[in-house]
Structure 1
Amino acid sequence: MERSSSSSSSPQGEPGRGFWRWAAIGGAVVGVAAAFGYVGGWLAPGRLTPDRLVDALQANGGVHPGFRRNHAKGVCVSGYFEGNGAASAYSTAPFFKAVRTPVVGRFALPGGNPYAPDSSVPIRSMALRLTAPDGEQWRTGMNSMPVFPVATPAAFYALTVAGRPDPKTGKPDPAKLKAFFAAHPETTAFREWVKGAKPSGSYATEAYSSLNAFYLVDAGGKRQAVRWQVVPQQMAGAGDVAKAGDPDVLQADLARRIADGAQRWKLVLTLAEPGDPVDDATKVWPAQRTTINAGTLVLDRVEAQDSGPCRDVNYDPTVLPEGIQASEDPLLAARSAAYADSYLRRTSEEAGVPGVAKVIASEKR
C-alpha cells in the first residue's frame, strides 16, 4: 500500500541557487525513473541485484515506510483511453482499436522523499495502467524529458552512488558527479537538456515520453519498433514554473483543472527506421520519423495516493498486452525486477511484516 504525500514541509530544505545545477543533474537524475537492477542478478555473487540498487536509492532519499522508493510523492488519477484505430495496422493490442479503455494512473515527482517541494526537481512523471474487458493490461511509466541519462543498470547504480547526499551538507558532492559524467559521455544529451529545464507548475501541461523502445506486433507477427509520448491538449499555463517554497502546487493545480473539466493528451507513436537505436534510451531518434496519433488519454478524476486506486499498483513497464513487446533495452528488464523489490518493501511495511525479504517474484496483477 502507498501512503499519501502530506503537505507538511520537507525535513530537508530546498537547494540554494549555487547548487541548482548539480541538484538538477544529480539529485533529479538519481530519481529519474524507479529503480533498476539486473534481472536474475541475485543468482550471481558480486553482480548488481534489484535489492542493492533499491538500497542505494533508499540511502539517497531516506527511509519513508510505506512509500515507493522512488517517485514517492504522487497523486492518483483515473479516466480512460480512447483508441482511434490508427495503430491497429501495426499491433493487435486491443487498446488501439476504436474503443474506450479504463485507465488508472499516477503523476509523481522523481526521488524518494514524499515531502519534497514541487520545485525541487525539473522532471515530472506519469504512469498508466490500461485494462481491457478480458483483464489484459498495459502498464507504462513515462517521464517529462527527451532522453535518459544512462544506458545500463550498472551506470544508473553508479550515478545513484555519485549523487548520494553528503551527511554534512545534505547535498551531493559536485566533484563525484563531475567525475561520473566525465566517465560517462552518454549523459551529454541529458545534461544539455537539464541546463534549460525548469520545474513546471502543472502536471497537465507536460508531455511524457516512454524513453525506452518497444515493439508493436501485427497479426502476421511483423514487429515495428516504437517509442511513445503523450502530448497535452491543454496549454493554459504551459511554461509556468513551480514557485520555490510551495510544497504541493502540482496536486492543487491538477485538482483545480480536473474540477473544471477532463484533461487530455494525445498518444503519439514514433516509428523507428533501420539503424535507429532501440536498446539505448540515451539516444534521440531523428525528428523526421513517422508518427501516428493512436488515440486520446482522458483523465477526469484525481484522488490522494493513500486511498486512491493507484496506491497498490506496481507500474511495471514490462506488463504488456498481446501486440506489444519489450525491446532489448536492458533498462526495461531491470526496472521490472527493481520495481518488484520496491513494491514488496512498501507493502510489507504497511502490513507490519518484520524485515523485508528479497524479491522472489514480480507483482503483475
Structure 2
Amino acid sequence: MRAYFMVAALVGSVSAAFLLAANLGTGNALSAQDFVDLQQGSTAHAGFRRAHAKGFCVAGDFISSGALAPFSSAAVLQAGRYPFIGRFSIAGNNPLAPDLKAPVRSFAITLLPETAQQWRIAMNTPPVLAVGTPEKFYLQLQAIQNNSVPQFFAEHPESQAFVKWRSTYQASSSFASERYHSINAFYLQKAAGQQQAVKWAAVPMLTSTISSELDETDADALQKEFFARLNAGMVSFDWQFTLGTDADDENNATVLWPDSNVQISAGTLQIHQATEQLDGNCNALNFDPLVLPRGVAPTADPILRARAAAYAESHRRRAREVLVQSVVGDQHE
C-alpha cells in the first residue's frame, strides 16, 4: 500500500490542466490534453510516456569546469562534481518500436536529483524546431499523422532551417555518438537584472571502441549497443553552451544561432551506469524543461511552455495508470 500513497501523491502534484495556445479557428483553446491525445493516438500504452515512450535509464556525474560561473549562480555551474539521472530515448508513443526506425533521438537528464536545486533538461537531435508556436506545432503533428508533411513545410517557410537539417542529418550507430540540443534558449542569471541568453548541446566524446555493426532486425539494437559500449568504458559528453547576442531572438526556436557566437564548455557529462527503464529511477521522472535551479530562467519562447505542459499531462496520465495497476495488484495479494 506504500506504493499506492506514493503514486497518489504524484498524481495529485501534476493534475492541473494547462492552456497552451489561443484559438485554432474552432472557438476553443488548445490544451495540453489535446496535444497528448494527438501524440497518444488511438491506443495508449499504459504506464508509458506518450512521446519518447521507448528508452532506458542512465546515471553519472557532471564534472563542471566552472567556466560558466561568471554568468550564473546555479550550483552545478560552479566547479565541482554533481550527480545526475538520465534517459536516452527514441521518438514515438510505442515502447516496443524498433530503435533504428525512429527519426529523432533524445537525451534527458536531471542534475542534483535529490535536492531543491535540481535541473531537468530535455535534449533532442534536431538543433531547431520546424515551427515556433504551439498551435502550428499541433498542426505539424496532424500533418505527420496525415502524411502531408511536405505540404505543411511548403506552407510554413519558417521551417527552412529544420528542413535543411533533416535533409543532411545521418543517424549514427550509437546513442553515444549523437549530438543532442536544448532547441529552446534559456537565460543564465548571476545577479538581479543580469542575464545571458544561451542554448546548449551535449557533444559526444567517444573514448571506447566497439563494433559499429548493428543488427537491423533487432528492435533494441541501439540500447544493446549502448550497454555494450558502457561495459567497455565510460560514455562522456562535452556540455557546450552557445551565448546569444543582440542579433539572436531567444524566443524563436526555428532559427539557428550563428557558429560565430561564443561557445563555452561547461564541463563533462560522464555516464557510468545504464539500466532498463522499468527498473531504473528515471522511469518515474518527468523531464520538464521548466524545472530550473536558481541562476537559470526560461525565456518567453511559447514552445518551451508548451513542452512543459505536455510533459506534465503525459506524466499525469501514466502516473494514474500506475496507480490503477498498483491498486489492482494490492487487491489480488
TM-score, with length taken from structure 1: 0.79
> 1:339 is matched with which residue?
311
* Residue 206 (structure 1) shift: 0.9
What amino acid does structure 1 have at the position aligned with 2:83? P
Is the 2:91–2:103 contact (alpha carbons within 8 Å) kept by the matching residues of 1?
Answer: no
Q: Work out the CA distance in 2 between the residues paired with 1:188 and 1:332.
A: 20
Equivalent residue runs for 1:209-358 within 5 Å = 209-234=181-206, 244-352=216-324
Residue equivalent to 2:142: 161
Return the offset for 1:118: 1.3
Paired AA for residue 60 in structure 2: G
- Give the 3-state SS of the residue equivalent to 1:111 in structure 2: coil
Give secondary structure in 2 for the equivalent of 1:264. strand
Task: Give 1:242 shift.
Answer: 5.6
Higher strand content, 1 or 2: 2
Mind listing any 5+ residue stretches in structure 2 that lack a counterpart? Answer: 4-17, 327-333
Compute the displacement of 1:39 (Å).
4.0
Q: Find the partner of 2:95 among 82, 105, 114.
A: 114
Residue 92 (str. 1) matches residue 82 (str. 2): no
**1:177 Cα deviation (Å)?**
2.2
In structure 2, distance between residues paired with 1:241 and 1:291: 34
The partner residue of 2:129 within 132, 148, 163 is 148
In the TM superposition, what whole-angstrom CA distance separates every residue of 1:209-228 from its partner, at most 9, and x where no partner exists? 10100000013540000001
Q: CA separation of 1:219/1:239 partners in 2, compared to 1, >3 Å: closer, same or farther? A: farther
User: Counterpart of 2:11?
Assistant: none
Secondary structure at 1:306 match in 2: helix
- One-letter code aligned to 1:58: Q
CA deviation after TM superposition for structure 1 residue 132, in Å: 6.9
Unaligned stretches of 5+ residues in structure 1: 2-36, 165-171, 355-365
Contact 1:122 1:198 in 2 (8 A): no
Q: Provide the alpha-carbon RMSD of the alignment.
A: 2.5
Q: Going by fraction, where is helix more abundant, 1 or 2? A: 2
Provide the aligned length of Structure 1 versus Structure 2: 308
Q: CA deviation at 1:246?
A: 2.4
SS of residue paired to 1:218: strand
Distance, in Å, in 2 between the alignment partners of 1:197 and 1:83 is: 30
Q: Aligned partners of 1:232, 1:226: CA distance in 2, in Å?
A: 19
List per-residue Cα deviations over 1:242-279 (Å, max 9, x = no partner): 65422111111111111122111111110001020101
Whether contact under 8 Å (2:21, 2:135) holds in the other structure is no
In 2, Cα distance between equivalents of 1:41 and 1:193: 29
Structure 2 counterpart of 1:327, one-letter code: T
Q: Any conservation in 2 of the 1:122–1:197 contact (CA below 8 Å)? A: no
Query: 2:9 matched to which residue of 1?
Result: none
Match of 1:178 among 150, 168, 174: 150
Q: Which moved more, 1:127-136 or 1:253-262?
A: 127-136
In 2, the alpha carbon distance for the partners of 1:112 and 1:158 equals 18
